[in-house]
Every structure is written in C-alpha cells, then in structure tokens.
Amino acid sequence: AQSVTQLDSQVPVFEEAPVELRCNYSSSVSVYLFWYVQYPNQGLQLLLKYLSGSTLVKGINGFEAEFNKSQTSFHLRKPSVHISDTAEYFCAVSDGNNDMRFGAGTRLTVKP
C-alpha cells in the first residue's frame, strides 16, 4: 500500500511569515494527493487536492501545493500565515481503489 511521510512534526512560525509543510509519498501506482487541516476538537477538512494536470494546486485559505513526481513530494505552502492558521495539517495519498493513507501530521503554530 502507499504511504506518506511528513518530515516535520511541528513548525513554529511568526505571523505574516511564509511557511512550507513538507510531505513525501511512496506508491507503486498513480496516486491522488491531498492536504487536510484539523482544528482543535474537530474533524478533518480538505485544503486542496491533486488529481492530474497542473502540478501547482491552489486551495482554500490561501494555501497551495506543488506535486513533484520525480521527488515524490507534495509540499504545502502559504506566503503569509495568520494566527488562525494554527492547526494540525495532514498529507494524504490515495490510489484508484479509494485506499487513502495519511501522514503523522504537522502541527503548525503561528505566533504573534
């Protein structure tokens, strides 16, 4: 089965600074890639997804991610973060059979 590695468990950053959350995946088949966000005491919410086509994907709340097949990466970026972006972020990979696997998560903390 496919798997996901999120390279940073915690990322502290100051408000209005740029941020990158790193994600690498492994799979023997073509994959679909996702980023989800989880706010405290809530379920997960989709930020963005890559299915095919353009490798730069734009999502909600100003986030974007770039699919890099040669490096098997799907890093999430935002040029300027807000306090409200403080949350846990999960990268996920799914195959054509709807088998979706998640990484361990990255806790983004935005400081004033």
**Residues interacting with another protein, by CB under 8 A?**
6, 9, 32, 34, 36, 41-46, 49, 51, 90, 92, 94-105
Cα angle value 34/15/23 (rounded, 5°): 25
Residue 68 Cβ vs another protein, minimum distance, rounded to whole Å: 18
Pick 59 or 64: Cβ nearer another protein: 59
Residue 20 Cβ vs another protein, minimum distance, rounded to whole Å: 19
Residue 96 Cβ vs another protein, minimum distance, rounded to whole Å: 4
Pick 13 or 44: Cβ nearer another protein: 44
Q: How would you label 41-61 residue by residue, b for 16+ Cβ within 10 Å and e otherwise?
A: eeebeebbbbeeeeeebebee
Pick 105 or 108: Cβ nearer another protein: 105
**Burial grade of 10 (CB within 10 A; 0-12, 13-18, 19 or more):** exposed
